[in-house]
Each structure stands twice: as C-alpha cells, then as structure tokens.
Structure 1
Amino acid sequence: MRTISRQSVVDAVAAMCIDANRYLPADVLASFAKAKAAETVPSAREIFGQLEENAALAARTGLPLCQDCGLGVFFVEAGEDVRLEDGSLREAINAGMVKGYGDGFLRKSTCDPFTRKNVGDNSPAIIHFDMVPGDALKICMMAKGGGSENMSRVMMLAPAQGLPGIREFVIRRVAESGSNPCPPILVGVGIGGNFELAAINSKKALMRRVDDVHPDPEVAAMEADLLASINRLGIGPMGLGGATTCLGVKIRTAPCHLASLPLAVNIQCHSSRHKEVTL
C-alpha cells in the first residue's frame, strides 16, 4: 500500500489548472501549423496566425488562452493500492482546482443553475473516478468552456440506424453548431455503453492527441471519414470559411444493450486545454 499526501494532490492539481489555461498542448499547436499551410482561403490563414500568436502571448505573459477558463473536469485513475492521507481524494482535487483558479487569476464560471449567482471559486470540480490496478494516481484535467459544451449532444439511436445513423448525426451536429464553438474544433464521439457512459466517453476521447490514430482500423477509418466530411462543410476557422472546420475526430466505444445505440458528440473549441499528471 502506497500513501500520497493530500498536499501533493492539491499542489499538482492547482498547477495543472494554471498550466492548462496558459499553455496550449504541442500537438494542438502543430495541428494549427499544418492546417494553416494547407489553407487556400486568406482569412482562414490569417485566423490560424492569430491563434498561434494568442498561444504565444499566453505562454509569455501568463494570461489565459481564453477568457472562458471553463469548468474543471477531471478523469482520475486511482490505483487500488494507493491511499490518500489527511482527507479524501475528491476533496483534495476540488481544493486543488479552487487553488489553481484562484492563484492563476482564472475566470470562475460556476453558478447556481436557477439564480445564476456565481459560486465564486469555480467549485465543485467535476470528477470521474476509475479504480485500476497498481499504486499510482493518474489525474487528467480538462478546462471545458461553455461555448463548445453547449453544442454537445447525447442521442439514443435505434440499433437499425447503425453506422449511417451515427455518421449523419455527428456531421449534422457540427453543421448546426456553426461558428458557436469557436472552430477549428475537435470532436469527441462516444458510441455504445448507455446514456451517461456515451457522454463520458465522448469527453474522454478528447484527451487523445490530435495526431493519434485509433488502434482499431475500422474505428480509425470512421474517424478519418468523419473528419473529411466535417471539413467539407466549409465552416472554417471561426466560421468565416475555409478547409479546416475540424482538427480531429476521436471515437471511444463500449458494448451496449441490444435494444439501444447510445451516441454522444462532445465538441471542443480550438483551445483544447488539458493536462495530466501521475503521482
């Protein structure tokens, strides 16, 4: 049995929240450069240049990549042979998130759903736990803004709709979203499981690298087909036209009930902010 101190979790989570909101992942930046080189629409190339400049300014000044610093979403893989001293793991992660959003001067966006009064510290953190073998603690953090989250959907398809129905729903969802999620976007797709698992898997899928290829050739081909189809919509960067509406489509699947075909589409804006740490 391995023991991890509460303070080490708090400090690690705080640093993750600050870094995720200041530094765009290298694979996302690389996808900007690749897409800019392929664009033929001048306004699209200009927007990619602005996105690159924004990322450089955030890294240099310590200011957030976006004014919407999002809700703190965490996916935690807790080893069965690890324990936290001086408190609960959920409390420590939430405390770290509150500290990070405070110390980093990041916008707090959590509010009461009815009165709309701001909670003031971005709490509570949204945490999904998985128990895994071993004595390590892996924490993945995503800063998820409201614009992209509002465009995300869960749909219970009929099994007979199959792959054509999945394809149609994903492409239509992006088309209907238009410029609202600040394209170029990333699209996470959860297929199977049940209502809530499909939604969780669609968000987990967004933690994959932009250049990552799915190990299942059939799923990889589906991702490539959806990406090409979405980019043919012509929405383009910031909705002003161009060849790059989407930087990547990532799919995560799970077995489902024989009477249903759960499908979730989680859209992420171009500022795909996430970090992970293993303690």
Structure 2
Amino acid sequence: MIKLPEPVEDVVYNLLRLANTKLPEDIGWAMEAASGWEQNEIAYTQLGAIMDNVKKAEHIGIPMCQDTGIPVFYVKGKFDSSIGKAIAKAVERATKEIPLRPNTVDPITRENCGMNLGPGMPIIHYIPTDDDFTQITVLPKGAGSENMTRLGMLNPADGVEGIKKFIIDSVLDAGGRPCPPTIVGVGIGGTSDVCVAMAKEALMVPIDEENPDPVLRKLEEDLFVALNNSGLGPMGLGGSTTSLGVRIKKCACHTASLPVAVNIGCWATRRASAKITADGVEYAQGVKF
C-alpha cells in the first residue's frame, strides 16, 4: 500500500460520516427535479418531507435515516493486510461517535453482535490493482431496500423484453417497502453470484453519469420511463416519481444462461469514496463506470 497522508481509520471514519449524513448531490438534484414535475399532492408532500429531512441531517450532522444499514466496503488499488483491521476499527468508532445504529446480528440466534461488527463483518471486497493509489468506497445498505433484492435465472429466449419484465416486476412487487423513490441497480450476465454483485455495485455509479454502453443506456432510459409511469410513487402512495434512476452493469455469461439481478437503493442511497494518493485524500460520493 502507498504511504498514506493520514491513517486509514480516520479516512474510513470520515467516509462513514459523509455517507450517512449527506445525500449524494446527484440524488439530491434528481429529487428536486422530481418535485418540479410531480402532480400528485401526496407524492409532492412526501418528496418535500424527504428533502427537509436531508437538509436538517446535513446541517446538524446526524444520519439522514434511522437505519444506518450495514457498511459494505470496496477497496481498490494498492493495499496491505492491515487495511481490514483499520476499517473494522473505523466502523466501531463511527458506530459509537456519529452514532450509527448497531444493526448486525447473528443470523441464527438473532443476538446483536455489537458495534456493527461480528462474524464476517465488516464486509470488504478487495480489488488489487497496479494503480498508484488506494480507493476505499463505502455503501451503507439498509434492510428495507436490501430485502427486496431479486435474482432471476432467465431463459436466454426471454431476451430484452424478458429482462425488462423481470426488473419492472421486481420493483413494483417491492411496493413501498424499499422507501421509493428508489435507485435501481441491475446486473445482467455472469454467474448468479457475479450478477448479484454487479447489481449492488451499480448503485455506486452517480445517476447523472451517462452509461458508456449505448445498449445499456437505452435500457436504463426505457426502464426509468416505465417505472415512473407505473403510478407507484414515493413511499408507494401513488405519483409519478417511483425511481430516480436506473444503473446497469453487464458481464458475459454462459450461452445457456441469462442471469438478471436487481438490487434496490432507497431514496437515501448512501455512498462515499476516498481516493488516497501520496499527495492527499480526495473524497467523493460516487464511482464512475
């Protein structure tokens, strides 16, 4: 790992505070735009309440949602084995000081593990590269949206229309449970595990960034229109603002397979990233395709 200008623990602590107390600008802009076109009175009121909450959370410096989720980390670049321990220390510190709700429990006994740690926690995905930097990204994920994750092993003959139907059905079947308006992350292709991973990774990409793949870009646009024409609306109470954006990633797959995964992000789709170089630390709230 490169020589860091500040301790990893401090960087990760800052990421957790940033992600939980400040809505990414691209999502905030989309919410403001939606308020401008939303004609349903209840939906308009819901959007206004969300934005008031967001502004107060940032001003006071407290989490914008009571479910501060489980922090999922992505570490890319050059790093050594000590980085995992530093991240765990930052999670414990952030849970105490920000504070974050201690959400992690034993899956069998349901006993709280404390400090958002426990077996296998925090979740860290390592992506070693030869780059001259270390990039750490956190994606805190609450249960309301995470529980709506869907994987479909479609028949290749289902084609694009089958893909669209699966995604739309997954979002509409979720109803108000993931706290719409949502960001819809989609993975297409790969194997089942890769497909589900891509769907979550897609949520890290800002919704105002153009997908470099023209086919996926068109699919994102079609799905965005279809979802917002569904009438589900904010919190599932009706309106024309069901989704703030759709992000899709793809991977080649077996000729006899067509995996499609959906991972929904609630209106509070939280993300923060730090790019660490020898010159300093640069913070952002989105990762490019």
TM, length-normalised to structure 1: 0.94
Does the 8 Å contact 1:191/1:253 carry over to 2? yes
Does the 8 Å contact 1:73/1:126 carry over to 2? yes
Match of 2:233 in 1: 236
Identity %: 40
One-letter code of the match for 1:36? S
Match of 2:129 in 1: 132
Match of 1:178 among 161, 175, 178: 175
Residue 142 (structure 1) aligned with residue 139 (structure 2)? yes
Which residues of 2 match residues 87-126 of structure 1 at below 5 A?
A: 88-123=82-117, 124-126=121-123
Match of 1:46 in 2: 45
Which residues of 2 match residues 32-43 of structure 1 at below 5 A?
A: 32-43=31-42
Post-superposition Cα deviations, 1:188-224, rounded to whole Å, max 9, x if no partner, equal: 0000111111111101111111212211111100000
Shift of 1:157: 1.3
Post-superposition Cα deviations, 1:6-31, rounded to whole Å, max 9, x if no partner, equal: x7111111111112111111111111
Match of 2:61 in 1: 62
Shift of 1:251: 0.1
Residue 2 (structure 1) aligned with residue 2 (structure 2)? yes
Match of 1:157 in 2: 154
Match of 2:187 among 170, 186, 190: 190
Shift of 1:140: 0.9
Shift of 1:137: 0.6
Residue 31 (structure 1) aligned with residue 27 (structure 2)? no
Post-superposition Cα deviations, 1:79-129, rounded to whole Å, max 9, x if no partner, equal: 3xxx44xx5222222222222222211101000001111111101111111
- Residue aligned with 1:27, SS: helix
Shift of 1:244: 0.6
- Residue aligned with 2:67, SS: coil
Unpaired runs of 5+ residues, structure 2, are 277-289
Match of 2:76 in 1: 77
Partners of 1:196 and 1:76 lie apart in 2 by 19
- Residue aligned with 2:272, SS: strand
Partners of 1:102 and 1:157 lie apart in 2 by 44
Match of 1:210 among 207, 210, 227: 207
Shift of 1:155: 1.6
- Residue aligned with 1:67, SS: coil
One-letter code of the match for 2:183? L
Q: CA RMSD in A?
A: 1.4
- Residue aligned with 1:234, SS: coil
Post-superposition Cα deviations, 1:59-91, rounded to whole Å, max 9, x if no partner, equal: 111221000000001112123xxx44xx52222
